[in-house]
Amino acid sequence: MGDSGGSVVSIDVERISFGGKEHHIHTNHGAVSVVVYGDHDKPALVTYPDIALNHMSCFQGLLFCPEAASLLLHNFCIYHISPPGHELGAAPISPNVHIPSVDDLADQVAYVLDFFGLGSVMCLGVTAGAYILTLFAAKYRERVLGLILVSPLCKAPTWTEWFYNKVASNLLYYYGMCGVVKEALLQRYFSKEVRGFSDLPESDIVQACRSLLDQRQSMNVWRFIQTMNERYDLAQDLKQLQCRTLIFVGENSQFHTEAVHMTSKLDRRYCALVEVQACGSLITEEQPHAMIIPMEYSSWFLWCWFSEGFRLGTGRQVPIGLELCEAEADYPFVWLVCLVCGKKGAIVPSEVLL
């Protein structure tokens, strides 16, 4: 069981950012930026983005989707954690600052929860961010009620991935956020259909992401890539997880095989896999509508599972649209495996995919 091992010492900055407040929090593993949206009295949803992204470039599409806004913004207080140096307007991190390990980043999440006085939370992570939050859930099991993971990583890098990351790291180190690195990142995030080809132009979301990548501090991105290139296999930890876990993966994601592998390692009573057709890894931006119905069902069961606090009279309200039922709370979670095609979805048994 992990231990936060210290205390958050201060807030450096607090400012309004797109309707949220940004807090810069000092931890034993460096400073971390957290943007908070919503009422602090509501249950907490913690997010963590992929490499070179932050909350605006990774979760804006999902949260600005009307149906998702109704589900998430109305029912949760959202805490967007950025990887070190990935927040809006970040300064370059000094070369003298130690590069954190994946365990350090997971411990930072615990510091954030301590700072805001949060107990148990739900987590939403994308790819590298999904790995960090899964590791956090493994180290601090009592603090995670549910995981929503998008195109997650769970294994150590393959030699191929390790090599490509090293090439990208060298390009970032010597040339900054150059065209080759941006193209590699866009291929990591999006399917070919939205990246454009031949006479088909890039979609607006890809153009917006390309513009936001230009704003990243290349050395800060380099540091996060170095961290993720040293990650380790979570297979043994996954077997011990008992929080509800909902995994989304795009049909065309580079990490499709890894997402299916991760599902096979989790307890099938508590996990579900959603494959989004004709989509890349960054489902939160490319096809956010495909996440709505599965999240509604998963939130329903998550709330059924940890709603003892509501029944015991804590005074908080049951989330909008989530009617709790004792019989349904005991129903196995694993049935919720969806194949989502466009805006239409079908629920099928987990064995179809696994």
Q: How far apart are CA 158 and CA 168, in angstroms?
A: 15
pLDDT the model gives residue 302: 56
Residue-wise pLDDT tens digits, 56-111: 999 999 988 888 777 888 889 999 999 999 998 999 999 899 999 999 999 999 99
Q: How far apart are CA 146 and CA 229, in angstroms?
A: 26
Q: How many CB atoms lie within 10 A of CB 84?
A: 24
Pair 254, 188: CB distance under 8 Å: yes
The one-letter amino acid at 335:
W
Among the listed ranges 135-149, 156-170, 238-252, 336-350, which one has the minimum average pLDDT value? 336-350
Q: How far apart are CA 125 and CA 33, in angstroms?
A: 16
Q: How far apart are CA 77 and CA 117, in angstroms?
A: 13
For residue 120, pLDDT beyond 70: yes
Average pLDDT over residues 123-148: 96
Pair 284, 291: CB distance under 8 Å: yes
- Return the CATH fold of 11-157+232-352: Rossmann fold (3.40.50)
Q: Please identify which residue in the block is written with the tokens 């890809």.
A: 206
Q: Where along the chain do its domains lie? A: 11-157+232-352
For residue 194, pLDDT beyond 90: yes
Pair 287, 270: CB distance under 8 Å: no
SS (H, E, C) the chain: CCCCCCCCCCEEEEEEECCEEEEEEEECCEEEEEEEECCCCCCEEEEECCCCCCHHHHCHHHHCCHHHHHHHHCCCEEEEECCCCCCCCCCCCCCCCCCCCHHHHHHHHHHHHHHCCCCCEEEEEECHHHHHHHHHHHHCHHHEEEEEEECCCCCCCCHHHHHHHHHHHHHHHHHCCCHHHHHHHHHHHCCHHHHCECCECCCHHHHHHHHHHHCCCHHHHHHHHHHHHCCCCCHHHHHHCCCEEEEEEECCCCCHHHHHHHHHHCCCCCEEEEEECCCCCCHHHHCHHHHHHHHHHHHHHHHHHHCHHHHCCCCCCCCCCCCCCHHHHCCCHHHCEEEEECCEEEEECHHHCC
For residue 337, pLDDT beyond 90: no
* Per-residue b or e along 194-223, where b marks 16 or more CB atoms closer than 10 Å to that residue's CB: bbeeeeeebbebbebbbebbeebbbbbbbb
Backbone φ and ψ for 309, nearest 5 degrees, come out as: -60, -35
Query: Which residue, among 196, 194, 191, 170, has the nearest Cα to 181 in the 3D structure?
Result: 170
**pLDDT band at 19, cuts 50/70/90?**
low
Rg from Cα positions in the chain: 19
The one-letter amino acid at 93:
I
Query: Which residue, among 270, 236, 254, 40, has the nearest Cα to 138 in the 3D structure?
Result: 236
How far from the centroid of its chain's Cα atoms is residue 260's Cα? 17
Among the listed ranges 150-154, 191-195, 250-254, 308-312, which one has the minimum average pLDDT value? 308-312
pLDDT the model gives residue 53: 96
Q: How far apart are CA 237 and CA 265, in angstroms?
A: 9
Residue-wise pLDDT tens digits, 292-333: 888 877 655 455 445 444 333 333 333 433 333 333 333 334
Mean pLDDT over the full length of the chain: 82
